[in-house]
Amino acid sequence: MKKYNFIRPIMLIVVALLTKSLVTNLCMLLGMEAESAKSVGFGAMVIAALVVFSRNRRSPK
């Protein structure tokens, strides 16, 4: 386990949770119901996590 980077998984979790909360709050401000806003927030969280994960998997050149 040499050269294991602890920042990458922490960054993935932080980005996913921040995206979920921001999208949920934005949807609720725009008048969406709470359950629908949570569903949209969860979808945005999954997409953000996949983007961050795919960017972290690329090896630096």
CB distance 34 to 25 below 8 Å: no
Its pTM surpasses 0.85: no
Rounded-to-integer distance, Cα 4 and Cα 34, Å: 39
Q: Supply the pLDDT for residue 56.
A: 85
Taking residues 7-17, what's their average pLDDT? 92
Q: pLDDT confidence of 12, banded at 50, 70, 90?
A: very high
Q: Supply the pLDDT for residue 59.
A: 61
Could you read off the pLDDT of 13-53 as tens digits, one per residue?
999 999 999 999 999 999 999 999 999 999 999 999 999 99
**Of the candidates 39, 38, 45, 41, the residue with the CA atom closest to the CA atom of residue 15:** 45
